[in-house]
Amino acid sequence: ETGVTQTPRHLVMGMTNKKSLKCEQHLGHNAMYWYKQSAKKPLELMFVYSLEERVENNSVPSRFSPECPNSSHLFLHLHTLQPEDSALYLCASSQGWKDRELGPHEQYFGPGTRLTVT
């Protein structure tokens, strides 16, 4: 247990469906992240929220829509996905960092949601 939970763990959806992934962290962190992990590709950072404000959006298609209602919860809303969007979606959290010299702190990951788009 890392203190970060994700639901559902598995999701199969058609291309016309709308679904949401949920992430919750119990670590008191103030930054949360969505990553996409496809087979044989490096982990891709999708979105970052710091203090509930979106601070990073890595050219992710608009069919992915994140939401961060508070510092403990993060959602990823999905609609009209494509088969190539099938992947493991990972949520992570961390403390933010202000001191340039210290560098980023470690991230704590949830178990992931295995998404299959048919």
How many other CB atoms are there within 10 angstroms of residue 66's CB atom? 20
Q: Which stretch binds other proteins (CB under 8 A): 11-19, 59-67, 79-87, 104-112?
A: 104-112
Tell me if 111 contacts other proteins by CB under 8 A. Answer: yes
Rounded to 5 degrees, what are φ and ψ at 83?
A: -55, -30
Identify the residue among 55, 57, 77, 118 touching other proteins (CB under 8 A). 55
Chosen residue from 56, 60, 71, 86 binding other proteins by CB under 8 A: 56
Tell me whether residue 75 or residue 109 sits nearer to other proteins (CB atom): 109
Q: How far apart are CA 17 and CA 82, in angstroms?
A: 11
Q: How many CA atoms lie within 13 A of 88 on its CB side?
A: 13
